[in-house]
Amino acid sequence: MNVRVAVVDNNDSFSHNLEGYLGEFADVTVGRFDEPPEADGYVFSPGPGKPDEFPIMYEILRDRDEPVLGVCLGHQAVAEFFGGSIGYADEVVHGKRSEIEHDRRGVFEGIESPTRVARYHSLVVDDVPEPVEVTARGADEVMGVRHTDRPVFGVQFHPESFLTDEGRRMVRNFVRIVEGHA
């Protein structure tokens, strides 16, 4: 039986790209939820605006212990929820391919470092305090984070974009984490 992953759609068309990748490995529900749905894991989608405009992400981080992967806006929500700060990027990027260095753990397991990823953002994570650690950097920005005690991850870039070399593997790695937690 497949694990169930809920994609929190933060009003972004990339949510359906995430659904496509996730659907290869898990049963997926996509929605703009009023309350956290039952699931074995959660993916917070990209989206416009700031993380606090989509409070369902904070509710899930506060009330649930299932694995979470935040993408772009979702990554910013993960960092902010655990005490990090968000700021404006030096350069607004839309569909830019960049190289990142990562720690080859968690969602990056089995992926060469450096690797190329797709960036679409105007906000960035400025800093992350414990219990969150930086797992990837590129273009002088935090590109990945992980909670040290919980299966919670964030990536600033878009693994669901065709411009990301190993995006499908990153999504598969997250589903494996969900499977190990279920």
Any idea which residues carry the catalytic annotation?
A: 72, 158, 160
Phi, psi of 37 (to 5 degrees): -75, 160
State how far Cα 32 lies from the chain centre.
17
**119: Cβ contacts below 8 Å, ≥ 6 apart:** 93, 95, 96, 97, 98, 139, 156, 157, 158
Q: Do 3 and 40 form a contact (C-beta atoms < 8 A)?
A: yes
CA dihedral 92, 9, 170, 71 (to 10 degrees): 30
Phi, psi of 104 (to 5 degrees): 65, 25
